[in-house]
């Protein structure tokens, strides 16, 4: 039976992963943690919640012991664009947080899910069909921490037998919590503008292609990866993962299929643009497909349709 602890529980992924895990394993078996105060709302009341700054190894170890945790989904992290504003903070949270999670997993026998990212690639990586194993020279502090994190997870696996597994997530599209400070955030913000009847001012150029994924696929991927027999995994940390690749212009066109007068304009942010230009256009996720049967369910059209439907229900009910 799994007892799970989720770090970064109030973030974009955690807000949806926690109910997903609780539906599967039981409310009491999933400990949500976050560095912010507990948000309001039923999902935070039905199971345990604890305040946690992942740099605080003592509190982390205390929670792992108290709740007999055997699996940690380590989501806490500073995203790419805000990381460039404060690289020292991003390194501290992203690297020392992961180190603390791996150390407590070594001493308490926990399995670890670590989300790496398209950001672990950079100049010199092939941008199209980016291979599972290739040049990785990221230039953002976020990407450097993700790549270092992949290596550290493998180190803990090889040296200490910690069952650490990870994916390189693309930009994640979701309708609950906002991402907050990433380069791919535009692909979420655009839906809010479209539903408010506003023109969207995009910080990336019209033809900037990036890998993307709808949140339901991202959650399923994490849980499926953690459930696979360990001897099937050759590329543990971390698997390329994608569901679709599009540019802002292509996404705007797909939204226009539902909202014909939707308009997009461009005011390119040079920091975000340089980051996006160094990331893959489309990754090859063949290793995830071959080793643990990864298949995305949502393509661009399905993602746009569900985002507009779910978000209009939510915004309309406010
Ligand atoms: N979505 C993240 C970001 O843009 C990449 O992993 O920072």
CATH code for the domain of 256: 3.90.25
Q: Are residues 39 and 135 in the same domain?
A: yes
Instruction: Flag whether 137 is in a domain.
Output: yes
Q: Is the pLDDT of residue 317 over 60?
A: no
User: What's the rounded mean pLDDT across residues 19-36?
Assistant: 95
Q: Is 182 in the pocket of ligand 1 (CB under 6 A)?
A: yes
Residue 171 near ligand 1, beta carbon < 6 Å: yes
71 Cβ inside 6 Å of ligand 1:
no
Alpha carbon of 118 to ligand 1 centroid (Å): 7
Ligand 1 atom at shortest distance from the alpha carbon of 185? 4
Number of domains in the chain: 2
Considering the domain architecture, whether residues 180 and 102 belong to the same structural domain is answered as no
Distance CA 200, CA 188 (A): 11
- Ligand 1 atom having least distance to the Cα of 117: 6
The rounded mean pLDDT for the chain is 96
Whether 126 and 10 share a structural domain: yes
Do 149 and 186 lie in a common domain?
no
Same structural domain for residues 264 and 232?
Answer: no
Rounded Cα–Cα distance for residues 98 and 85 (Å): 21
Same domain, 181 and 272: yes
Evaluate whether residue 289 is within a structural domain. no
pLDDT, position 316: 79
- Residue 287 in domain: no
Q: Identify whether 231 is part of a domain.
A: yes
CA of 311 to the centre of ligand 1 (A): 21
> Cα(109) to centroid of ligand 1, in Å?
30
Task: Determine the pLDDT at residue 38.
Answer: 79
Identify the burial level of 190 via C-beta atoms within 10 angstroms of its C-beta, where 0-12 means exposed, 13-18 middle and 19 or more buried.
buried
pTM as predicted:
0.95
User: Domain range for residue 187?
Assistant: 172-211+243-281+297-316
Which residue's CA is the nearest one to ligand 1's atom 6?
117
pLDDT at 202 over 70: yes
- pLDDT score, position 1: 64
34 lines ligand 1 (CB under 6 A): no
Ligand 1 pocket check for 80: Cβ under 6 Å: yes
pLDDT of residue 143: 97
- Both 59 and 97 in one domain: the answer is yes
Any ligand 1 atom below 6 A from CB of 251: no
Instruction: Note whether residue 292 is domain-resident.
Output: no
136 in any annotated domain: yes
In a domain, 311, yes or no: yes
288 falls within a domain: no
What confidence score (pLDDT) does residue 2 get?
86
My answer on whether 57 and 183 are in the same domain is no
Same domain for 86 and 231, yes or no, is yes
The answer to whether the CB of 98 falls within 8 A of the CB of 114 is yes
Residues acting as catalytic residues: 142
pLDDT > 70? residue 216: yes
Q: Are residues 65 and 183 in the same domain?
A: no
CATH value at residue 135: 3.40.50.720
115-144 pLDDT, tens digit each: 999 999 999 999 999 999 999 999 999 999
73 and 221 fall within a common domain: yes
Burial 45-81 (b: 16+ CB within 10 A, else e): eebbbbebebbeeebbbebbeebebbbbbbbbbbbbb
100 pLDDT higher than 60: yes
Q: Are residues 34 and 125 in the same domain?
A: yes
Q: How far is the CA of 62 from the centre of ligand 1 (A)?
A: 30
Q: Residue 244 pLDDT more than 60?
A: yes
Task: Check whether 24 has a pLDDT greater than 90.
Answer: yes
């Amino acid at each position: 039976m799994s007892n799970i602890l989720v770090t970064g529980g109030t973030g974009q992924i955690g807000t949806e992963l926690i109910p997903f895990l609780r539906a599967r394993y039981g409310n009491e078996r999933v400990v949500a943690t976050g560095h912010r105060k507990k948000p309001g709302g039923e999902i935070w009341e039905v199971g345990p919640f604890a305040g946690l700054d992942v740099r605080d190894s003592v509190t982390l170890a205390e929670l792992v012991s108290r709740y007999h945790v055997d699996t940690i989904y380590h989501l806490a992290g500073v995203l790419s664009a805000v990381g460039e504003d404060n690289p020292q903070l991003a390194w501290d949270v992203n690297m020392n947080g992961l180190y603390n999670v791996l150390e407590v997993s070594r001493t308490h026998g926990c399995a670890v899910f670590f989300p790496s990212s398209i950001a672990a690639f950079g100049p010199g990586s092939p941008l199209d069909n980016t291979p599972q194993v290739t040049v990785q020279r990221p230039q953002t502090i976020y990407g450097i921490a993700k790549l270092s994190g992949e290596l550290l997870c493998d180190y803990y696996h090889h040296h200490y037998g910690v069952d650490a597994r990870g994916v390189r997530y693309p930009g994640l599209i979701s309708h609950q919590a906002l991402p907050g400070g990433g380069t791919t955030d535009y692909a979420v913000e655009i839906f809010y503008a479209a539903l408010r009847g506003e023109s969207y001012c995009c910080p990336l150029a019209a033809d900037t292609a990036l890998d993307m994924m709808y949140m339901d696929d991202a959650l399923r991927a994490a849980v499926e990866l953690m459930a696979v027999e360990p001897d099937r995994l050759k590329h543990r940390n971390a698997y390329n993962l994608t569901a679709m690749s599009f540019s802002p212009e292509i996404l705007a066109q797909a939204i226009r299929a539902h909202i014909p007068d939707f308009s997009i304009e461009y005011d390119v942010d040079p920091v975000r643009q340089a980051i996006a230009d160094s990331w893959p256009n489309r990754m090859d996720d063949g290793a995830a497909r071959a080793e643990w049967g990864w298949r995305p369910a949502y393509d661009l059209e399905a993602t746009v349709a569900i985002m507009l439907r779910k978000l209009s229900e939510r915004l309309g009910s406010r």
